[in-house]
Amino acid sequence: MTSLGQDGVTTPALARMPEDVLRAFFDFLELYDQLRLMSVDHRYRRVGMAHPFYWQYLGLNAENLSGIALEGATCLFLVRLDLSQTRPVVISLHGCDPRSILQHIVGHFSHIRSLTISGVDAAHGQEILDTFDKPAPVLRKLVLQFDGQSAAPATCPIIAPATFATSAPSLRQLSLLNVMLSNPVPDAFSNLSVFSITIRVGIRQPLPFIATDRMEKFSVSGRLWFSPEYYALNVWRNVKSLSILTDGPLSDAYPWDAWRRIPMLTVGYASLERSLALVDDMPGSLRLEGRRDASTARGAFNIATRQPARGAPLNRMLGGAIPASLHEPGLARASTMFSTINARAERFVEFNLALADWDCLVSLIPRLPALADLHLKLDDTASFAGQSAALCCPAIQRLILRAKEGHNPRPVVLGDLEKFVDAALSGATESMKILSLERVTFVPDSPAGACKYIYVPHHIPPD
């Protein structure tokens, strides 16, 4: 706070500030600055402690705290919690073991409006969930995100049927990571309008049926599949946004006819027939995004409308994967996503690709006859040699080469890029004029319809 003198001594201007102006001043401060300003004198402390940001929005991020610092932050959190009394509060806990803190929070369930617990070891998850045994009449949003890395498959915690004493009539948003629902689902979740669940631990399991009468946004991902109750068409009649990115292929028995009527639909790993049907639902030209998933050695892809029209009745995105072809060249071309792209190749006009050191991704480029806009992003391990296939696209108008942010391409990669650009220029028409040829920015200009090359690596070291 620049308005404070040394050692927190107030200046005359601060001393004369009216309380209504002071209250408005607190609106623009983070908690750290609020605390400094409250140390000016008793009047500032009184105004600060009465300000809603001090008692209403309560957060504790212990990810980088330990020892005395963590103890102090926890004590301050509890002081602010007690100051809220019975007024509605928003609570967020991240990166800490909340079991001891929850003993204090449970007593405030009657006036918690939003509760977020994230970055917590799933091994402690069940013990945490078991404390949710009091009614939560004003709770509108619940977010539980547990870290499953150290948890055994059987330790994925389960929300019990009696959660919140079956009474959370205001709850509308529920987001779960590595937290499973009981079967039957708790009555407290019967009025949801936004639901999201991701399971990344254990074996695949069915998702218990959750009421969708008021559901508008529904998202499922990870090691889950739909139980038969979800197959009924009327289950999805009110859903406006649906995202299904579960592991493994989606069954043709799922209610695809109902899903295709949903305005915003994101689907991953569907069959070829379903994938083509979804792509055909996308109006206009298409955009393709591809990146390498290092953990699975696959190329992860998304297909979407390039420029969705404002107010368009449908918004679609199709996700999928293409295996690496290093050892089995035919494996990539046999994948559903590769076949889908190949079957609708003439509709793709934009391709954003995070380049890897294997070529099954780049091999797609010459197969896209309408491709006009190509973005290639390199990381510090990628090799650019042999990627001149990008020039084989007859409709290409712009090629952008970028280094991954925060990375410096190796000198050999820079050399490959320079050779690539030189080769491109040698075959260019006389009408193409070079405006700038530098290592940081290279933008040849050209008439409309001719090829353009833009070379913009990040953080290039000086010569």
- Say if residue 34 is in the same domain as residue 102: no
Using the 3D structure, point to which of 55, 74, 93 is the last residue of a domain: 55
Q: Residue 343 corresponds to which tokens in the numbers above? A: 């079957």
Q: Which amino acid is at 456?
A: V
Residue 29 located in a structural domain: yes
H/E element, 33: helix 31-38
123 with 197, same domain?
yes
Whether 131 and 240 map to the same domain: the answer is: yes
Same structural domain, 67 and 158:
yes
- Total domain count for the chain? 2
- Residue 438 has what pLDDT? 36
Pick the closest to residue 274 from 291, 293, 253 (CA basis). Answer: 253
Residue 373 confidence (pLDDT): 81
Beta-carbon contacts of 193 under 8 Å, excluding residues fewer than 6 positions away, are 172, 173, 214, 215, 216, 217
Do 65 and 28 share a structural domain? Answer: no
* 158 and 40 part of one domain: no
**Do residue 38 and residue 146 come from a single domain?**
no
d(C-alpha 84, C-alpha 87), whole Å: 6
Least Cα distance to 259 among 194, 302, 317, 339 occurs for 317
The last residue of one of the domains, among 231, 262, 293, is 262
Domain match, 70 and 169 both: yes
Q: Are residues 42 and 163 in the same domain?
A: no
Assess if residue 415 is contained within a domain: no
Q: Are residues 7 and 70 in the same domain?
A: no
In a shared domain, residues 133 and 79: yes
Distance CA 224, CA 268 (A): 13
pLDDT tens digits for the chain (463 residues)?
A: 444 444 444 555 666 677 677 766 666 666 666 666 666 666 776 666 666 666 678 888 887 777 788 788 888 788 878 877 888 889 999 888 788 788 888 888 889 999 999 988 888 888 899 888 888 899 999 999 998 765 555 568 999 888 887 788 999 999 999 999 999 998 889 899 999 999 988 888 999 999 888 999 999 999 999 999 999 989 999 999 999 999 888 888 899 999 989 999 999 989 999 999 999 988 889 999 888 766 566 778 899 988 766 666 678 899 888 876 655 666 777 889 889 999 999 999 998 887 554 456 667 777 888 988 877 776 544 555 545 555 566 777 776 766 555 444 444 455 555 665 565 555 544 433 332 333 323 333 333 333 344 443 333 333 3
Range of the domain at 38: 1-55
Which helix (H) or strand (E) covers residue 274, if one does? helix 272-281
Q: Structure tokens of 51?
A: 């300000």
Identify whether residues 140 and 8 lie together within a single domain.
no
Q: Which helix (H) or strand (E) holds 435?
A: strand 433-437
